[in-house]
Amino acid sequence: MKKTIAVYPGSFDPITNGHIDIIERSLKFIDSIIIAATDSPSKKPLFEIDKRISMIKDIFKENNNIKVEKFSGLLVDYLKKKKIFLIIRGLREVSDFNYEFQLVLTNRKFLFNLETIFLMPREDYIFLSSSIIKEIASMGGEVEKFVPDIVVNELKKIYKI
């Protein structure tokens, strides 16, 4: 029997409970998922890529259906190399849809058999983004409701809160 494997790409700087919600719910539809963290220097990440990957691996260490990998360059090149043709993406708002719609159509120009599954996070996390988490933490705000403990601890180290 063929197993369905998907890739959930992103910078995950840092990973939030919204990301985790998408990952866990996607396993209702697929057999396994690769969380593909990208080192996107244009985004000026707070956490180094290896730290992000380490945190994500720690969060999902009990789940054998979830792998975490680093990638750089074009997502379609990574997918071709892995021979995976299914992407999981989260949608929070209309502006996400517009951006994701462009990505899907562009990626299909490079990889015609590529499919994308979009999931909306639970209502508790629909507003949540890594950028918001970093802004709250940078001002000494509480982020415990929005990210796993390991992320909270790392944010406290960086922002000395």
pTM: 0.94
Paired tokens of 160: 């000395």
Q: Pairing state of beta strands 32-38 and 5-10?
A: parallel
Active-site choice (52, 89, 130, 134): 130
Active-site choice (11, 19, 26, 52): 19
pLDDT at 44: 85
Say if residues 157 and 51 touch (Cβ distance below 8 Å).
no
Let me know if 19 is a catalytic residue. Answer: yes
Domain spans in the chain, listed from the N-terminal domain onward = 5-127
On the question of a cis peptide bond just before residue 14, with omega within 30 degrees of 0, the verdict is yes
In the predicted structure, residue 98 carries a pLDDT above the cut 90? no
Active-site choice (40, 43, 72, 122): 43
Q: Which is the CATH superfamily of the domain at 5-127? A: HUPs (3.40.50.620)
In the predicted structure, residue 4 carries a pLDDT above the cut 70? yes
In the predicted structure, residue 147 carries a pLDDT above the cut 80? yes
pLDDT in tens, 52-76: 999 999 999 999 999 999 999 999 9
Let me know if 122 is a catalytic residue. Answer: no
Which of helix, strand or coil describes residue 112?
A: coil
In the predicted structure, residue 41 carries a pLDDT above the cut 70? no
